Chains A and B, each alone.
Chain A
Amino acid sequence: MGQIFHRSANTISRVTIFGAIFFVGFILWVIGGIIRSPFFTNQGVQREQPIPFSHQHHVAGLGIDCRYCHTSVETSSFAGIPPTQTCMNCHAQIWTNAEMLEPVRASFANNKPIVWSRVHRLPDFVHFYHSIHINKGIGCATCHGRIDKMALTFQAAPLTMEWCISCHRAPEKYVRPRNQVFNMAYVPVNQEEDGPRLVKEYKIQKLTACSTCHY
């Protein structure tokens, strides 16, 4: 019968066997990347909004405090989205006939809520309390990023459990003085010292038990 295979078969067969191992490894690595990518996490994705509301303009430009609109952030699980009325407080006086603000006026006039498209969104089985994080000295910017630099709001953090846990395990890395919580531009001077001190001072616990968020 003689030879069945060509000489090259030897090399080919060995390469394929070896290559297979690396190929599988590569695929897994790619998947690992994808599930952490914005495609899954929506990190940095800007959403169409009925009104191109700019936090940059209102926060950085006009220096409006977060709590002016997000009223319940200190007291409730839910930070609160401003009712149209809040917008009208100012826009009844200024930009009263700006084309851009038509939807706002419309909403106020015929009592129809503005339908915003949600930017930060956790799954139903995750229960998050804004109030306690604010009170324990976690700054808005820590999770929401530099909102004051966002023309259109997007999700700054991946919001994966990995990401939540990283802070819950080591709050001293992220905690800031309470009076700095709403300060977008806060830069820690020496976190190495302040962190542990504040953790002690604010009685911050490292909560990693499941029922901290899931119930």
Chain B
Amino acid sequence: MGVGKPMEGTYGVIAEFSDAQSLLDAANATREAGYKNFDAYSPFPIHGLSEAVGFHHTKLSSIVLAMGAIGGIGGYFMCWYANVISYPLNIGGKPFNSWPAWIPITFECTILLAAFGAVFGMLALNGLPMPYHPVFNVKRFEQASRDRFFLVIQSRDPKFEVDRVFNFLETLHPREVSDVPW
């Protein structure tokens, strides 16, 4: 989504709904109407909404797995390098490579990096942080974090034409429709 750089015209057209059900229906309708670049906004996760806006799976899991693997291997390597390669010392008659003793640290490192993967992966994929976004230009959008539900059809959608989008959205019985300036 080409957010941030100033553009001519509008970012899109926004429709406000009063409950989750109608937003979900609207989203489905929009998709069936053939729109691609549109998004729905709700104060809480709505089951099935993301599918409705045509978004199915995320690669978050694989990121987390990868990070976890790196953490685990890295953790063990750290112990091994420090106590076997770099400066081996006879500690209480134990062998240099006391692998059982290094499992806890290996484990913790796995978790730590996996967690980083989950959080920062999620933020990155969501393109956050993004304090500025055109939708905020819409005054009533502040209710999106309370009890209002919004649907935005973006101007970069190939089928986008302001009047037709307006008309289309009106058909979905929104509380009101307005455009989203840049």
B-contacting residues of A (Cβ < 8 Å)?
1-11, 13-14, 17, 165, 208-210
Chain B nearest Cβ from A3, distance in angstroms: 5
State whether A5 and B139 are in contact (beta carbons under 8 Å apart), knowing that A10-B3, A11-B4, A208-B87 are contacts in the complex: no
> What DSSP secondary structure best describes chain B's contact surface?
loop
Count of CB-CB pairs between chains A and B under 8 Å: 38
User: Are A10 and B131 touching (Cβ within 8 A)?
Assistant: yes
User: Are B136 and A7 touching (Cβ within 8 A)?
Assistant: no
B19 contacts A by Cβ under 8 Å: no
25 A-B residue pairs with CB within 8 Å: A1-B139, A1-B142, A2-B137, A3-B132, A3-B137, A4-B131, A4-B136, A6-B132, A7-B5, A7-B6, A7-B132, A8-B132, A9-B132, A10-B3, A10-B4, A10-B129, A10-B130, A10-B132, A13-B129, A14-B129, A165-B87, A208-B87, A208-B89, A209-B89, A210-B89
State whether A17 and B129 are in contact (beta carbons under 8 Å apart), knowing that A7-B6, A208-B87 are contacts in the complex: yes
Chain B nearest Cβ from A34, distance in angstroms: 22
| CB nearest to B120 among chain A residues | A17
CA distance A121 to B92 in the complex (A): 33
CA distance A21 to B55 in the complex (A): 32
Q: Hey, which chain A residues are within 8 Å of B130, CB to CB?
A: 10, 13
Chain A nearest Cβ from B49, distance in angstroms: 25
8 Å CB contacts to A: which residues of B82-102?
A: 87, 89-90
Interface centre among B3, B131, B142 (most CB of A within 10 A): B131
CA distance A73 to B90 in the complex (A): 32
CA distance A4 to B6 in the complex (A): 17
Q: Which 3 pairs of residues, A with B, have the shortest CB-CB distance?
A: A5-B131, A9-B131, A13-B129
User: Are B129 and A3 touching (Cβ within 8 A)?
Assistant: no
CA distance A165 to B88 in the complex (A): 12
User: Are B4 and A7 touching (Cβ within 8 A)?
Assistant: yes
Q: Hey, which chain B residues are within 8 Å of A165, CB to CB?
A: 87
Q: Hey, which chain A residues are within 8 Å of B131, CB to CB?
A: 4-5, 9-10, 13
8 Å CB contacts to A: which residues of B1-15?
A: 3-6
CA distance A1 to B137 in the complex (A): 8
CA distance A165 to B3 in the complex (A): 57
20 further contact pairs, Cβ within 8 A, besides A4-B136, A10-B4, A10-B131: A1-B142, A2-B137, A3-B136, A4-B131, A5-B131, A5-B132, A6-B132, A7-B4, A7-B5, A7-B132, A8-B132, A9-B131, A9-B132, A10-B129, A13-B129, A13-B130, A13-B131, A14-B129, A17-B129, A209-B90
Q: Hey, which chain A residues are within 8 Å of B136, CB to CB?
A: 2-4
User: Are A2 and B87 touching (Cβ within 8 A)?
Assistant: no
CA distance A5 to B4 in the complex (A): 11
Chain A nearest Cβ from B16, distance in angstroms: 15
Q: Hey, which chain B residues are within 8 Å of A7, CB to CB?
A: 4-6, 132
Chain B nearest Cβ from A161, distance in angstroms: 10
User: Are A2 and B132 touching (Cβ within 8 A)?
Assistant: no
The digit string for B72-116, where 1 denotes a CB below 8 A from any CB of A, is 000000000000000101100000000000000000000000000
Chain A nearest Cβ from B40, distance in angstroms: 21
Q: Hey, which chain A residues are within 8 Å of B4, CB to CB?
A: 7, 10-11
